[in-house]
Structure 1
Amino acid sequence: MTAETLACQLYLISPLDVGGDFPSRLANALDAGPVAAFQFRVKGVDEHEAARLAEPLQRICAERDVAFIVNDSISLAKRIKADGVHLGQSDGTVKEARDRLGREAQIGVTCHASRHLAMEAGEEGADYVAFGAFFPTTTKETEYRAEPELLTWWSALFEIPCVAIGGITPDNCDALIEAGADFLAVSGAVWNGDEAAAVRAFAEKLTSVSRQS
């Protein structure tokens, strides 16, 4: 992922249920505005089922030149030839992911609110670091709370892009964009309602706030 088109871009994370009509919802969202990446995040299913669920979504992303990132599983990312993998702190190392997925893979690392974890990830060769949660979120349990100043600190010192995550909506994202986030990772704000309208609202905010920065 690169942050070249706008100062900050949208990074969609899937809901846990990606069956049923979700492929059409994903297409609607991606067609509603610029999206840099989509993270495939499912829990409690085996790798075979996960690969089956991923197939139509991966195709939709490929048709629209949107990076397809697998959450947590280096093995699944390799199996389906995903564009990359997003690693939590217990999901394997950047080196392991790089060795298995290759030089071109996009590898991101969850760093919570830790400068130390982010610097470690950068030194290990991560393509981006993710900080959060910045706001209360119902998508997943969060133990950590990050502040916008963390984004400012990171972007001033490092060239590796940073992703802001956690309870982000079109109404509260201004401070994160202004602080230096390269990407806003969002899930509930898009999938809990009209996904196309939500993406359009984010696109308007990303464009207007980026111009002010």
Structure 2
Amino acid sequence: MNDKTQPNRCRIVLLAGPGVEAGQLQGALDGGDVASVILFREGLDEASFQSLAERLVPLAQQAGAAAIVAGDTRIAGRVHADGIHVEGGKAELAEAIEKFQAKIMVGAGGGKSRDEALEIGEERPDYLFFGRFGYDGKPEPHPRNLSLGRWWAEMIEIPCIVMAGSDLESVRAVAATGAEFVALSAAVFGEGADPRTAIARANAMLDEHAPRFGD
């Protein structure tokens, strides 16, 4: 988060991959409330991914957003990340939770159906992510992610993150599911986007349209 008063509604999670520069992330963080930043590898070798994390993790933390590293617990430790994100399935998640959850957040992805999501949820991750890194090229969110997010938010206490589309307007569809978090990437960091303006606009739409939790 980068706001002392956390909004009582769906909040933004930024997904930052190899193409995201430090200036872009800083601009986004300057634009308004961001709950966390998840850094993902997408083909980078270990040294390059660590370099990316070394540049971006401090920016997120200085802004008050949780910095989460996907797919590499060693790099997460080296850069003093606030959390790790596991996509490898239940066994890998269970191991990560046993080793790390007492110290840092452990989130999970990979639930492509209700049964898979429930199986992953049995391990009690700190959140469940519905979507795939780098697969937000269409303007609207994937219908399956919206459906799973709505079902999960209604049934399960563990928070969920739902991947939005490349159009900022898609945050409204995600928020309407009741999900605690909406993930943005292409809509903020894509070609032609201004990260600061994008985050400010996304937060304004969430302020206006997102349901308030507890209402």
Into which bin does the TM-score normalised by the smaller protein fall? 0.7 to 0.9
Number of residue pairs aligned between Structure 1 and Structure 2 = 202
- Quote the residue 1:52 is aligned against: 51
In structure 1, list runs of 5 or more residues that go unmatched.
none
- Quote the residue 1:197 is aligned against: 197
TM-score by length of 1: 0.83
- Quote the residue 1:150 is aligned against: 148
- Quote the residue 1:68 is aligned against: 67
- Quote the residue 1:177 is aligned against: 175
- CA distance 1:91–1:81, shift in 2 (3 Å): farther
- Within a 5 Å distance, the mapping from 1:75-154 to structure 2 comes to 75-89=74-88, 93-132=92-131, 137-138=136-137, 146-154=144-152
- CA distance 1:43–1:111, shift in 2 (3 Å): closer
C-alpha deviation, 1:145, in angstroms: 5.2
C-alpha deviation, 1:36, in angstroms: 0.4
Shifted more, 73-82 versus 88-97: the winner is: 88-97
C-alpha deviation, 1:53, in angstroms: 2.3
- Quote the residue 2:19 is aligned against: 17
Coordinate RMSD, CA, aligned = 2.5
- Quote the residue 1:159 is aligned against: 157
Q: Secondary structure at the match of 1:124?
A: coil
Indicate if the aligned counterparts of 2:164 and 2:174 stay in contact, CA closer than 8 A: no
CA distance in 1, matches of 2:145, 2:47: 38
- 1:127-155 C-alpha deviation (Å, 9 max, x unpaired): 1111136xx7339xxxx851533222211
- CA distance 1:17–1:91, shift in 2 (3 Å): farther
C-alpha deviation, 1:92, in angstroms: 6.2
C-alpha deviation, 1:202, in angstroms: 0.6
- CA distance 1:99–1:189, shift in 2 (3 Å): same
C-alpha deviation, 1:164, in angstroms: 0.4
- CA distance 1:90–1:211, shift in 2 (3 Å): closer
Q: Secondary structure at the match of 1:173?
A: helix
Indicate if the aligned counterparts of 1:169 and 1:186 stay in contact, CA closer than 8 A: no
Q: Secondary structure at the match of 1:159?
A: coil
Q: Secondary structure at the match of 2:144?
A: coil
AA at the equivalent of 1:185:
A
